[in-house]
Structure 1
């Protein structure tokens, strides 16, 4: 089951395309320069800036890193403070206007490099094609996705896993008739960074 987030569970969503555009212009970056640094297409970045597209959490983190800000500049992500997370107590959040929902299962350890999330992917959802530094490991918990990794496309079902380097262009889509539940662990998105004054 993929429950809707209550206001108390969801991270405070601050994302708007105009904020990304404002930071990009303040940094003197073109659409092409930012899309190159963030590892996304210039067309998708243009859609995000115009409010016509919504980035996934990973892509939002890449945009934040390329712009020199923390992801919290755009969305307040809940912080797990204990090494143990109970299934009914995990902090949950979503990016504004996105149908993806996230459960944070990792803790902010001093010097820690890993981020772990359970991602709830609705029927019909297709992510943007992206690439970025870092390493990713996914484990399918429920449902099935079509996964593109470089020049290969394949289907992952519940119980299947995939380990890859994030600089290989990748994309996924829920191709089934039920929501997908996926465990994602990686050294990206980069959730830390300097925070500008707002």
Structure 2
């Protein structure tokens, strides 16, 4: 029986590379703008690493687009999403299934998804500008923020600034379902955010769950 997640899967890397090239940016230029290392960006563009929502938001902001530009979920004509019609997708190489919640109307500042985490999943540990709220809909997760670990069960939530190193995991044998909402500041530049460089990643989080240094290594939004 296949464990491949349901939903639409696509390759993220070529879309990021195409946008970067459209803006005449080198990998170093993008790294300087978003605080993610050149080597990790190179892995992402080659689909050898899968960024979390937080990291993807930083990359998107540096490329002057929203996350939606890369995930290519259908843009809706109004702000209503129906439970039975909500867009579901996954990023190639990642076992998390995302459901589009927020609308992409012009001028919006919030991004929101429902995240379906499989058992024994661990996200990256990341830092970025902005803030996040995580609300547990079903199951339980372990949320780590700035070195502190919090066990969150259905109905629990946590709100934190993105500059604090953060990650989450589902160490249980049951799936977990989260509502993730974030506000990302952009455009991101080294002069605005001088101390948010992110160390190198060591590969795909799903393939190397033991790696969890601060930065773009394995363990979020996430």
Q: TM-score, normalised by structure 1?
A: 0.75
What's 2:58 paired with? 62
Q: Of residues 23, 26, 29 in structure 2, which corresponds to 1:28? A: 26
What's 1:193 paired with? none
Q: Of residues 158, 166, 171 in structure 2, which corresponds to 1:175? A: 171
Conservation of the 8 A alpha-carbon contact between 1:144 and 1:180: yes
Per the alignment, do residues 152 and 143 of structure 1 end up closer, same or farther by CA in structure 2, a change over 3 Å counting? same
Offset from partner CA, 1:80-120 (integer Å, 9 cap, x none):
33333221111122222211111112223443222221111
Residue 78 in structure 1 maps to residue 56 in structure 2: no
Offset from partner CA, 1:117-139 (integer Å, 9 cap, x none):
11111112211111212121111
**Matched residues in 2 for 1:76 and 1:100: separation?**
16
- SS state of the match for residue 74, structure 1? helix
Conservation of the 8 A alpha-carbon contact between 1:78 and 1:104: no
What's 1:4 paired with? 6
Offset from partner CA, 1:5-33 (integer Å, 9 cap, x none):
1xxxx3x7241269549938x52343xx7
Farther off after superposition, 34-43 or 171-180: 34-43
Q: Supply the RMSD in Å over aligned alpha carbons.
A: 3.0
**Matched residues in 1 for 2:95 and 2:69: separation?**
20
Residue 131 in structure 1 maps to residue 133 in structure 2: no
Shift of 1:41: 5.8
What's 1:13 paired with? 10
Per the alignment, do residues 116 and 75 of structure 1 end up closer, same or farther by CA in structure 2, a change over 3 Å counting? closer
Residue 94 in structure 1 maps to residue 96 in structure 2: no
**Matched residues in 2 for 1:167 and 1:70: separation?**
19
Q: Of residues 102, 110, 117 in structure 1, which corresponds to 2:113? A: 117
Conservation of the 8 A alpha-carbon contact between 1:138 and 1:182: yes
Q: TM-score, normalised by structure 2?
A: 0.67
What's 2:217 paired with? none
Unmatched 5+ stretches in structure 1: 191-198
**Matched residues in 2 for 1:93 and 1:46: separation?**
23
What's 2:212 paired with? none
